[in-house]
Amino acid sequence: MRALNYTSLLLLLCISVEAQMKWDWGIWAGGANYLGDLVEHDYPVVSETNLAGGAFWSYYPGYRWSFRMSASFAHISGSDANFKDDPIFVEARNLRFRSQLAEGSLSLMWEPWGKKRYPTGGGLRRIVSPYLFAGAGWVWADRVIDYADAPRDGLYEEIQKDAATASPVQTLSIPVGGGLKIDVGKQSSIGFELGLRKTQSDFLDGVSYSGNPQKNDWYLFGGLSFSKRFKNRDYDQDGIVDQEDACPRLAGVASAKGCPDMDSDGIEDLEDSCPEQFGLRDLGGCPDSDGDGVADKEDECPGETGILATKGCPDKDGDLIPDKNDRCPEVAGLGTLGGCPDADGDGIADQEDNCPDISGIAQLKGCPFVDSDGDGIRDEEDACPETAGLDAFQGCPFKDTDKDGVPDETDECPDVAGPATLKGCPDRDGDGIPDHKDRCPDSFGKASDKGCPVLTQEVRKILNLAARAVQFETASAVLKPESLKELDQVVEILKTYSHYTLRIEGHTDNQGAAKVNLALSTKRAKTCYIYLKNKGIDVKRMAYKGYGENKPIRTNKTKAGRSRNRRVEFILK
C-alpha cells in the first residue's frame, strides 16, 4: 500500500464507547502529502510533506463503533524536479504547484477491543487499542501553480489545457485509515493515526491533460491529536449512567440493564434458575450447550444437537433410535438390526449385504450364486459377466482397464479410452494426433505443427498493419483512439490462436536523447501489453520490451523513414 511508505504518524485521541460517555471532541496537528501527476512513484515524496491540522467531534452508539465528524486544513505540494529516475517530465513540463486544502468529513470508526475499557464489575480501565476508519468527505483546494516556465514544445498544448481549468477545486474525498489509541486518563486519550484520501478529481495539483487524466489525485494526513470525553452520573460505577440503569444503587452489567448478573447471560440473578451458568431466557437462564432446546441438566447428549423425543440426542435418519445406539445413523432402519435397513428383506443388514437389492443367503453375504458365462466367477464379481474369462482379469479374457477394446499390454493409454487406430489413446479434436502428443488437443491441426492450426497470410497481414497503425499521442505513451480498433484485432487473433505467445516490441526514430527514446518505447510497448491484458489475454502468454532507436527498418534521414521507424511490432510464436 502507498501508506506503508508514509513516514509521518497521526496521534489521535478518541473517547470511550460506554453508555455514559457518548461524545468527545479534540484537535490534531501533523503533516500532509499528496500522490498525483507530479510524483514519480506510487509513494509520497518526503521532502514535500507540509503542515496540517484540524478538529473533530465523535459520537459513540456502542462499545466498538463511533461516528466522527472532522474539519481539517493543510497544504500539499509537488514538483517535476522530484522525477529522479525518469526525468522526462522535467524536460516536457517543468511544473511545480502548492495547494491549500480544507476538508470536512464524516467517518465510521471500528475499535475491535474497545469493550475492554469497561470491565464487567464497573468502572473504567485504561487501555491501548487499535482502530480502523472509513467514510466520505468534501474537499476544497485552492491551488497555486506557475505554468510560465513550461517548455514551448513537447506537452505544451496539454499544459495550456491544464492552465485553463478553474480554481479552486471542490470534490468528493473518501478517507480510509487506522490508528492506535492510548488512554491517559478516565476522560482523555491520545493515539496515532494514518489516513489516505482518494478524491474524484485530477486537478488538486493543476495537472491532468499533461499527466495521466485517467488517474485521480490522492492526499494523506498524519499528525498528533488530543481529545476530551463528556461524562454523565454513574452512582454505582458500573459503567452505565443512572438514567439507563435499572439498578442504579447496585453495580451490574449492561446486558442486564445495570443489575447484577453473575453469569453475564442478560438475565438478572433474581430471575435466573442457573445464576452461575450462562443460559437462555426461554430455559429459565439455564444453558443449552448444543442449542437443541433441551437444557443441559435434562440432556443425555449435552454436547450434540438432538431432539426432545430422544432426550436431546441426535437422530440423523429419523428412526427414533439415538445415533449413539444406531449402527446405521445416516439411514433409517430396524431396531432388530441395530437401526440398519434391509432393502431385500433377507434378514441381512444392507451394510453387510453384498447384494442389498437381491435376496440371498448368509453364506454368500446376502447374494445368490449366479454365473451367466460359466467361468466360475459370480456375476456380481465378474467385470465381463457375459464373456468367459480369467479370475486374474476379473472375469474378462484379457486385462483392459479403460474398457476400450485394446489390451493393456498394447494400450499406450491404458487408463483412458481411445480408438485402436491410435493405440488406445483419445483424440478430442479428431485431427489424427493423440491428445498426449497434440500441442493443441482441442483445435484441429497438422502433424507438422504438432497438432496446432497454422497462421494464415491474412492474420500475418493484420499483425504487420498493426505495427504501422497503432499510434500514440506526441512524446507520450497514451494511445490514440483510432489505434484501439487495431489492438482489438490483435485480441481476436490471440483468442483464436490460443496456443501462440506474443512478444510486443516498441521502437522509435533517432530524434531526441537515446535514453528518453528507450524509455518511451518501453512505455508504449507496456501500454499495448496492459490493453491486451485488460481485454482478457493471459499475461503468461505475453512479454514486452522497448528498443528505442536501436532497430530502425528505414532511414532516419527522411521524415517518411522516421515515421516508419516509430512503431510497435506484434510477433506471434
Contact 284, 274 (CB under 8 A): yes
Where in the chain do CATH 2.40.160.20 domains reside?
Answer: 2-229
- Residue 520's pLDDT is 87
Where in the chain do CATH 3.30.1330.60 domains reside?
Answer: 457-572
All three cell numbers of 24, joined, read 468527545
CA–CA separation, 218 and 196 (whole Å): 7
Looking at the DSSP assignment, which residues form a beta bridge with residue 96? 79
- Residue 448's pLDDT is 64
- Residue 243's pLDDT is 64
CA–CA separation, 465 and 7 (whole Å): 50
CA–CA separation, 10 and 31 (whole Å): 8
Prior bond to 44 cis, omega within 30? no
Give the closest residue to 544 by CA, choosing from 566, 569, 518, 511. 569
Contact 267, 259 (CB under 8 A): no
DSSP annotation string for 47-76: GG-EEEEEEEEEE-SSSSEEEEEEEEEEEE
Burial of 482 (0-12, 13-18, 19+ CB in 10 A): exposed
Give the closest residue to 66 by CA, choosing from 293, 300, 227, 287. 227
Question: CATH top-level class for 457-572?
Answer: alpha beta
- Residue 547's pLDDT is 94
User: Strand (E) positions, 212-278?
Assistant: 218-229
All three cell numbers of 467, joined, read 505495427
Show pLDDT as tens, one digit a residue, over the chain (573 residues): 343 333 333 333 333 333 446 788 999 999 999 999 888 888 899 999 999 999 999 998 888 999 999 999 999 999 888 888 777 676 777 888 899 999 999 999 999 998 888 776 556 788 898 999 999 999 999 988 877 777 777 777 888 888 888 789 999 999 999 999 998 887 789 989 999 999 999 989 888 888 888 999 999 999 999 988 776 666 666 667 666 777 776 777 776 776 877 777 777 777 777 887 787 777 777 887 877 778 877 777 877 887 777 777 887 777 778 877 777 887 777 767 777 887 777 777 777 777 887 777 776 676 776 767 777 677 777 777 777 777 767 777 777 777 777 887 777 788 788 787 777 788 787 777 887 777 777 777 777 666 677 777 777 777 777 667 788 887 888 888 888 888 888 888 888 877 788 899 999 899 989 898 899 889 988 988 999 899 998 989 899 999 999 999 899 999 888 888 888 888 887
Alpha carbon 459 to chain centroid distance?
A: 38
- Residue 21's pLDDT is 62
Three-point CA angle 58, 61, 65, nearest 5° = 75
- How many C-beta atoms surround the C-beta of residue 460 within 10 A? 12
All three cell numbers of 178, joined, read 487506522
Region for 374 from its dihedrals, namely left if φ exceeds 0, alpha if ψ lies in -120 to 50, beta otherwise: left
CA–CA separation, 450 and 92 (whole Å): 51
DSSP annotation string for 545-573: EE-TTSS-SS-SSSHHHHHHHSEEEEEE-
Q: Domain 2-229 falls in which CATH fold?
A: Porin (2.40.160)
Give the closest residue to 407 by CA, choosing from 427, 433, 396. 396
Dihedral, 448, 450, 453, 456 alpha carbons, nearest 10 = -40
Contact 464, 450 (CB under 8 A): no
Cell 491529536 found at: 225
CA–CA separation, 258 and 250 (whole Å): 8
pTM, rounded to two decimals: 0.42
Contact 75, 101 (CB under 8 A): yes
HSE-CB of 359 using CA atoms within 13 angstroms: 4
